Structure 1
């Protein structure tokens, strides 16, 4: 068993990001498939939101000890900007997250294949009352403009980073490490329940692009990219910008305004030349020993 341990640190971290994102999408997309194909007789919109939140919590407990559980390229980018993660990790982490989301979507499709085919009549499409593409990727509501949907994703992801960056700050009100996953899951649930009606609340480029690529290869076709005036780029670009804006907002309004950290309690005071000299001379009893001690 010891021989199975991967020695390369980057590979270990990518494995963790892959598996964590896989678990996240397994919970979320499975719930979406169950709700959609049952025509909301086995769950509703809230069920999907809660399932994604449980997926976040489970994935974080699973991978926090390896990478800190980013599970999201926008989070990885923000941590690179904060110098908490090396920039050389950004692309490998993002690709691992993307692959995890893709393969999770494939497994959900296999598990719910019969239900999807029965619901859609065997026609895999993005539009209409029997569309099934939204089980996997996110799509905008018909009433929303492109610019407003971009703003929607910027705000949602900004709120995510703004609220999670404070959890480990010891100068503020830090969360106990073991409670960080359920707290983050609750934050995600809050965002999903309040900011997902317009565009599905992706707030995660890997969570959207991975399933979208899967639907492209599984029978839905290029329509998953061309629909709604090529809307697919919005959940890729907007969350990255939103994550950076949330990070900057946290730094300016909170982190840079916190009190300076307390000095270590065991930090000794500067020596008082005359007093310390006399005390040391009395203790040593000889000028030679004192001179050696000083050097």
Structure 2
């Protein structure tokens, strides 16, 4: 039986909250601690673990999208109803903003903290960790978002092994970050980008458009091409508690 929209959006809020707190929190609090920092690889793993753990926790409620690009890709691919697209995205963005707010309070407890240092925000050009251009960043975000959403669609297909979707999706998100952190700090998720950008302001906000446009484009492209690649999916309800995991 389909769960109520309010319960599903609450699960999306919680899952996105955990994803941003875990992933961005590792970047802000743990990545550069002298002698103990976890570095890029540790941050990439943190994003993957946050996704994996919360997918198992609430995936049976909402489908564990935690990302507007995933929700759009699922809708384009015929797995999710258009009427629920906006409520899911609003819940995801709200969860990301609350997580960023809590992270800001925690990080502010350190005398050396300065939100202007980046606060795990995404960016290109001067705001890219590796100084990558707008074009390079745009291409990276579209391609990485496309690949990630393809993994989500494939791992959650009825023909895929049952029970392993969160593992595949979590590892895919880890891989995406291992590739893309030097380029843009990796978004592939407009909600994740919005939370920190609201606190950083300035360049992070002025460049936020790219981190909505590129992930949504990549997600929509994945949703359109996946059914062409693998053929029609076996019939099931448009939305079910386990529609993603």
So what's the TM-score if we normalise by structure 2?
0.85
Residue 151 of structure 1: CA displacement? 1.0
Structure-1 residue corresponding to 2:120: 136
Residue 29 of structure 1: CA displacement? 1.6
Alignment of 1:226-241 (within 5 A): 230-241=206-217
Say which structure, 1 or 2, has more relative contact order (CA 8 Å, 6+ apart).
Answer: 2
- The range that moved more, 48-57 or 37-46, is 37-46
Q: Distance in 2 between matches of 1:209 and 1:221?
A: 10
Q: Which has the larger radius of gyration?
A: 1
Structure-2 residue corresponding to 1:45: 40
1:166 aligns with 2:163: no
Q: Distance in 2 between matches of 1:153 and 1:78?
A: 15
Contact 2:31 2:40 in 1 (8 A): no
Q: 1:145-198 deviations in whole A, cap 9, x for unaligned?
A: 212211111000000111221123344xx1222x21122101111111123321
Residue 35 of structure 1: CA displacement? 2.9
Structure 2 residues not aligned, in runs of 5+ = 236-245
Q: How many residues align?
A: 229
Residue 223 of structure 1: CA displacement? 4.1
- The range that moved more, 58-67 or 232-241, is 58-67
Query: Which of 182, 186, 189 in structure 1 is aligned with 2:167?
Result: 182
Structure-1 residue corresponding to 2:202: 222
Q: Distance in 2 between matches of 1:40 and 1:98?
A: 34
1:255 aligns with 2:231: yes
Alignment CA distance shift 1:245-1:221 (3 Å): closer
1:244 aligns with 2:220: yes
Query: Which of 167, 173, 178 in structure 2 is aligned with 1:193?
Result: 178
So what's the TM-score if we normalise by structure 1?
0.72
Structure-1 residue corresponding to 2:8: 13
Contact 1:23 1:58 in 2 (8 A): no
Structure 1 residues not aligned, in runs of 5+ = 1-7, 126-130, 262-295
Q: 1:95-118 deviations in whole A, cap 9, x for unaligned?
A: 100010111111112222222x42
